[in-house]
Structure 1
Amino acid sequence: MTAHLEHTNFTVANVDATAEWMCDLFGWQIRWAGPSIDNGRSVHVGTKDHYLALYSPGNPHKATDNNYKTIGGLNHVGVVVDDIDAMEEKVKAAGFVPENHADYEPGKRFYFHDHDGIEYEVVAYS
């Protein structure tokens, strides 16, 4: 039996605001929202098969180091799109700054950071 990734869970400052821009930008939906551990709140946002579990304890601590140099750090979240140019325009319209563009085999990609400093990779395969 082969396993597949169902979800990933990470901490953000405001789960509802983050879920809202994800729904607008990526066309996802909120699958569940409610109270969670440590008097926090969680929102599950994504598709029927895969989602991100967004969590906030209400008063999260800011990241203190470069995640790429921190064991257990979240480096980036990757999303696949059909039309990378259209998605880049949506990313800009949402107030994010696309950067680090690259064409590579087998596709194209760019990155952006959200309001919490989380990096997203957007990729379209040829």
Structure 2
Amino acid sequence: MAVLEHVNVTVSDPKATAVWLGAVFDWKIRWEGDAISGGYTAHVGDEGSYVALYTPNRAIDNPQHSYTTRAGLNHVGVTVDDIDAVEKRVKTAGFRPHNHGNYEPGRRFYFDDHDGVEWEVVSYT
């Protein structure tokens, strides 16, 4: 059996992103510190998996649209028990939920963060 441990995403401010991820998903910072090429990384998640938030030690170019960029990150999917509560926290964090849908076997919505990363929130309960 294989289990996804983490995904690594380049963001403008790992510390700020870690704060809203904690507020929205109740995740904790597992580790943070210096990273490749003089950059900085924060690992945010639970005991089983995490998102590595990386920023290089240089200006970050504006991203291209992920769905038309080879190897682009299209979205990160997170499962939750209480999708309505998480949607409220997403709004409180300053993000706008969109593309709501009910489908077999669950419910979902998406939101884009300050760096243009799209997040999918899914509930199967």
CA distance in 1, matches of 2:61, 2:34: 19
Size of the aligned set, in residue pairs, is: 124
Aligned residue for 2:60, secondary structure, equals: coil
Give the equivalent residue in structure 2 for 1:52: 51
**TM-score, normalization: structure 1?**
0.95
How far 1:101 moved relative to its partner? 0.3
How far 1:61 moved relative to its partner? 1.8
CA distance in 1, matches of 2:24, 2:107: 18
Q: Could you tell me which amino acid in structure 2 is paired with residue 61 of structure 1?
A: D
How far 1:10 moved relative to its partner? 1.1
Give the equivalent residue in structure 2 for 1:104: 103
How far 1:60 moved relative to its partner? 1.9
Q: Which runs of 5+ in 2 are unaligned?
A: none
1:3 equivalent in alignment to 2:2: yes
Q: Could you tell me which amino acid in structure 1 is paired with residue 55 of structure 2?
A: S
Give the equivalent residue in structure 1 for 2:69: 70
Within 5 Å, which residues of 2 pair with 1:1-126?
2-58=1-57, 59-63=59-63, 65-126=64-125
- List structure 1 runs of 4+ shifted beyond 4 angstroms: none
Query: C-alpha offsets along residues 72-94 of structure 1, whole Å, 9 cap, x if unaligned?
Result: 00000001111111111111111
Q: Could you tell me which amino acid in structure 2 is paired with residue 111 of structure 1?
A: Y
Aligned residue for 2:78, secondary structure, equals: strand
Aligned residue for 1:38, secondary structure, equals: helix
Percent of pairs identical after alignment? Answer: 55
CA distance in 1, matches of 2:91, 2:19: 16
Aligned residue for 1:91, secondary structure, equals: helix
Q: Could you tell me which amino acid in structure 1 is paired with residue 7 of structure 2?
A: T
Q: Which runs of 5+ in 1 are unaligned?
A: none
Q: Could you tell me which amino acid in structure 2 is paired with residue 43 of structure 1?
A: A
CA distance in 2, matches of 1:84, 1:41: 31
How far 1:3 moved relative to its partner? 1.6
**TM-score, normalization: structure 2?**
0.96
